[in-house]
Structure 1
C-alpha cells in the first residue's frame, strides 16, 4: 500500500493500477475535474479582461470585502459566516474605491513599492472571478470560492523588463491539466488564446 497525494494517486492508479494492491489517498475532493480547472479560471479572466492587477490591489479588495461582509451575521469577528448575504451585495465595492500601498520586495519575485487607488478594472475582475467558471454564453460550469477567501489564483508576477504585472497559471491547475488532459509531465502552461469555452470543449 502506498500513501501519496490525491492528485498523484489518481494519476498513478488510473495509468498503472495493476502495480498497486491498495492506495491510501489524502485530501479527498469532490468534482475534481471542475475544482482543479477552476484554479486556472482567474488567470483566464485576467487575460479576457486585459487587466493584470498588482497583488496588493486584489488583497485590498479582499480585505474590504471581509470588513463589509463580516458583520452580516450579527457578529464582527473577522469571519464571513453569511457568504450568501455577502454575495447578494457583491457589487457594493465600486462605491468604495479605496487606496492601497505596497512595500518594495526583493524576494525571488521582485515587487516594486507602489501607492494607488483600487481601479474599476480590478473591481470588475474580482466580480467576474467571484461569479465563477462559466462559458461564453453565461452557463455556469462551477461556482467560485467563497467571498473573503482571497484571490490566490489571480496572483500576478512583476516583469522587470516591461515594468508591468502579468498573469500566470496557478500551479495546482497546471498540474491537473498537464497530467490528466495533456498527459505531459510539465510545470508550465500558457493561458494564451484560452477562452471561457476552452475547458468545456476539452481542447
Structure 2
C-alpha cells in the first residue's frame, strides 16, 4: 500500500486490491495449515486409541525386585524359598500366639475376650454368619462408587477404573465372592 495515497479503499486503488488479496491468501493458508494440523492430531488420537495396552506395558523397563536370598530365623539360616516362607509363617504364628507377660494389660485382654465371645455367640445365632449378616448389593455399589481413580493397580493389574466401570455383572460376582467368604469363613485361594 502506498503511503502517499492516504487511506485508500475500494477496487479503484491497486494497492488496496493487492492488500486485500494478500490478506485473503494469508487466511486461506492459515485455515489450510490449521486443518492439516487438526487432521494429524485426530489421526494420532485414533492410532493411540487402537493401540494394544499390552504392547505399552511390555515396552516399560523391567524393574528389579528385592528378593530375599537368605533369612535367619530362630538361629537357623533359611535359604530356599520354601524355608523362607515357613520362617515367615512361624514368625506370624508367634506374633498372634497369646503369651503371658508382666506388661500385658489384663483389662484390655478381658475386653477383647468378651468381644470375641459376643461375636462367636452372634455367629451362632445368625446361622454361622459374621455379625451384620450377608452383604447387600447396595453396599457393594457404594464401595465401588467410592473407589479412588488413577491409583496404581495391585499384583492382579486390575485398576479401580476397571471395577468402577465394569457394570452390574462384575458387581454381582463380587457380591457372591464376599458372601461366600462370610458363609464359609475362609478366603478362597484363587
* TM-score (norm. length: structure 2): 0.25
Higher RCO structure (Cα 8 Å, ≥6 apart): 1
Give the structure with higher Rg (CA).
Answer: 2
More helix by share: 2
* TM-score (norm. length: structure 1): 0.24
